[in-house]
């Protein structure tokens, strides 16, 4: 991003006279006064704290101008200020303006599981032939998507945007903001069921990603999911399906897995073996979605296959890391839901080890009234012959703890509250041997990344 403040003022309909500052160069936007680059426009958002309190700090750290909410008291006169009705809406309006100015193709991705991994795969495949910008970290909401857009270099040809949701209408807004050329839904699971009540309603909300899809755009989705195939009948745009059935446009064949990679072929390129450097055959569908996008942009199967060899993956998504005593740790601490836990545990139990398999699970959040039942349902993923020691963290894990007591004795089944991390870490450090393998998974709000850091 590189714009003069005067251009930004017009894009956000600033209410004050900015003529004295019109030629100030802005190279980025930021809403955290502590973490910004020199040349940034500061956006004071109102949340638990009022961002206007941090304007001076932002300027001290390198910001060259700030937005200011019109009804927020006296407007500073000694600094470059753009007075606007609502800083968040202005951030969104500026991102829309910049997106239209650069005019890249847009690939939007959502799903209950796999959207971040799929985003990384799609970006890697497209980067074989195009200049690509993708969502960083978890910048996938009403704030993160605009910031992602405004991080785009002027030579960007394709933007790959991850979109999250936790309520109806959110994807409708984001889709209409970016007007995607391609919309992808990876799958429908139980994530965020607290806010929606049923998988049917989750599917309805996920379909909102098509609301801004261009008329000549393409909708890509899991063709083996009835909730999606039923709703796709209402979409007029071109459609492509991926999955495991011969009725899908692209489907996998000859799947093989190891503890570090998953390989498969497809009906469209049976001579090209796709090797994904990740554990778990559940990543096959994510890769199939990426291959579907590759076909739309006329990337050859060989070029797409080669791109998977050097994937640039977001951290803490089923990533093997070394532990302090020599053990191997499968880190999957960014997010969690019942489908994701069962999938990664199925893969984990197939990993050979001379030691013990130990599993650390934190609460799965946003599961609503069914939370305890869904936690207890994870019992089906446990076999004491394959998982020798279990460590559960959080109030909802009490339900799974009770369910597992007929499979594990007290020496091999442990329960901790969220404020007992130190006790958990001490127990793990006492138990873990160099030959062991350890899975750590939980919703981000449980902060098992701190446990991971202690073990490393």
In this structure, are 329 and 287 located in the same domain?
no
pLDDT(191) > 70 = no
Binding-site residues from annotation for ATP? 111-117
In this structure, are 299 and 324 located in the same domain?
no
| Structure tokens that stand for 313 in this block | 């993956």
- Any idea which of 71-80, 81-90, 313-322, 375-384 has the lowest mean pLDDT? 313-322
- Report the percentage of the chain scoring pLDDT > 70: 99
pLDDT(198) > 90 = no
Q: Are 239 and 218 in contact (CB under 8 A)?
A: yes
Binding-site residues from annotation? 111-117
In this structure, are 73 and 175 located in the same domain?
no
Residue 345 domain boundaries: 319-455
In this structure, are 65 and 212 located in the same domain?
no
Q: Is residue 284 in a domain? A: yes
CA distance linking residue 343 with residue 330, whole number of Å: 13
- Of 310, 333, 351, the one marking the end of a domain is 310
Q: What's this model's pTM, rounded to 2 decimal places?
A: 0.90
Q: Which residue has the higher pLDDT, 326 or 315?
A: 326
- Of 258, 278, 310, the one marking the end of a domain is 310
Q: The domain spanning residue 171 has which CATH number?
A: 3.40.1190.10
Number of H helices, E strands in the chain: 16, 21
Q: Is residue 275 in a domain? A: yes
Q: Can you say whether the dihedral through the CA atoms of 194, 31, 78, 21 is positive or negative?
A: negative
Q: The domain spanning residue 20 has which CATH number?
A: 3.40.1390.10
Name which of 211, 209, 215, 208 is nearest 183 in CA terms: 209
In this structure, are 220 and 251 located in the same domain?
yes
In this structure, are 206 and 76 located in the same domain?
no
Q: Is residue 98 in a domain? A: no
What digits encode the pLDDT tens for the residues 341-356?
999 999 999 999 999 9
Name which of 59, 55, 48 is nearest 69 in CA terms: 55
- Domains of the chain: total: 3
Query: What pLDDT is recorded for position 436?
Result: 98
Q: Is residue 34 in a domain? A: yes
In this structure, are 416 and 344 located in the same domain?
yes
Query: What pLDDT is recorded for position 309?
Result: 87
What average pLDDT does range 368-397 have in this prediction?
95
In this structure, are 356 and 215 located in the same domain?
no
The torsion region of residue 127 among left (phi > 0), alpha (psi -120 to 50) and beta comes to alpha
Q: Is residue 93 in a domain? A: no
CA distance linking residue 251 with residue 288, whole number of Å: 7
Q: Is residue 224 in a domain? A: yes
Q: Is residue 221 in a domain? A: yes
Burial zone of 245 (CB within 10 Å; 0-12 exposed, 13-18 middle, 19+ buried): exposed
Rounded to the nearest 5 percent, the helix, strand and coil shares of the chain are: 35, 20, 45
Q: Is residue 399 in a domain? A: yes
CA distance linking residue 92 with residue 97, whole number of Å: 9
Name which of 29, 1, 4 is nearest 133 in CA terms: 1
In this structure, are 269 and 399 located in the same domain?
no
Q: Are 106 and 180 in contact (CB under 8 A)?
A: yes
- Of 310, 340, 372, the one marking the end of a domain is 310
What digits encode the pLDDT tens for the residues 411-426?
999 999 999 999 999 9
pLDDT(189) > 90 = no
CA distance linking residue 30 with residue 28, whole number of Å: 7
What digits encode the pLDDT tens for the residues 242-286?
999 999 999 999 999 999 999 999 999 999 999 999 999 999 999
Alpha carbon distances (Å) from 56 to 34, 65, 81, 226, 332: 11, 10, 12, 53, 38
In this structure, are 252 and 158 located in the same domain?
yes
Query: What pLDDT is recorded for position 310?
Result: 83
In this structure, are 358 and 225 located in the same domain?
no
Q: The domain spanning residue 333 has which CATH number?
A: 3.90.190.20
In this structure, are 282 and 324 located in the same domain?
no
What digits encode the pLDDT tens for the residues 34-62?
999 999 999 999 988 999 999 999 999 99
Name which of 348, 339, 331, 328 is nearest 444 in CA terms: 331
């Amino acid at each position: 991003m590189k714009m003069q403040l005067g251009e930004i003022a017009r894009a956000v309909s600033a209410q004050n006279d900015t003529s004295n500052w019109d030629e100030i160069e802005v190279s980025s936007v930021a809403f955290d006064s502590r973490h910004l680059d020199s040349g940034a426009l500061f956006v004071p958002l109102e949340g638990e704290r009022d961002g206007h309190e941090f304007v001076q700090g932002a300027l001290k750290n390198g910001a060259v101008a700030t937005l200011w909410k019109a009804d927020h008291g006296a407007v500073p006169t000694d600094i470059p200020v753009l007075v606007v009705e609502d800083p968040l809406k202005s951030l969104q309006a500026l991102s829309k303006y910049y997106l239209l100015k650069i005019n890249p193709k847009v690939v939007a991705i959502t799903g209950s599981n796999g959207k971040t991994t799929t985003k990384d795969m799609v970006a890697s495949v497209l980067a074989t032939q195009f200049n690509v910008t993708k969502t960083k970290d978890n910048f996938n909401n009403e704030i993160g998507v605009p910031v992602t857009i405004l991080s785009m270099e002027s030579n960007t040809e394709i933007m790959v945007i991850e979109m999250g949701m936790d309520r109806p209408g959110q994807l409708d807004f984001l889709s209409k903001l970016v007007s995607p050329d391609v919309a992808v839904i990876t799958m429908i699971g139980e994530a965020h069921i607290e806010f929606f009540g049923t998988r049917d309603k989750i599917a309805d909300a996920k379909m909102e990603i098509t609301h801004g899809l261009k008329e000549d755009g393409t909708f890509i989705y899991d063709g083996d999911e009835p909730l999606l195939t039923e709703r796709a009948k209402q979409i007029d745009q071109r459609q492509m399906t991926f999955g495991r059935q011969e009725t899908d446009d692209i489907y996998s064949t000859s799947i093989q897995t190891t503890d570090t990679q998953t390989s498969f072929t497809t009906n469209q390129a049976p001579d090209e073996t796709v090797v994904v450097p990740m554990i778990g055959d559940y990543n096959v569908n994510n890769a199939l979605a990426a291959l579907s996008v590759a076909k739309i942009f006329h990337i050859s199967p060989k070029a797409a296959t080669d791109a998977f060899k050097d994937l640039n993956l977001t951290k803490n998504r089923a990533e093997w890391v070394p532990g302090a005593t020599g053990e191997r740790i499968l880190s999957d601490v960014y997010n969690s839901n019942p489908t994701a836990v069962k999938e990664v545990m199925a893969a984990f139990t197939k990993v050979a080890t001379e030691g013990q398999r130990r599993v650390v699970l934190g609460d799965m959040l946003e599961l609503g009234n069914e939370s305890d039942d869904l936690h207890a349902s994870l019992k089906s993923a446990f076999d004491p012959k394959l998982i020798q020691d279990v460590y559960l963290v959080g109030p909802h894990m009490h339900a799974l703890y009770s369910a597992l007591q007929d499979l594990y004795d007290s020496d091999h089944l442990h329960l901790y509250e969220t404020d007992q991390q130190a006790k958990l870490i001490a127990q793990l450090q006492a138990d873990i041997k160099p030959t062991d393998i350890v899975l750590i998974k939980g919703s981000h709000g449980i902060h098992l990344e701190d446990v991971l850091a202690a073990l490393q």
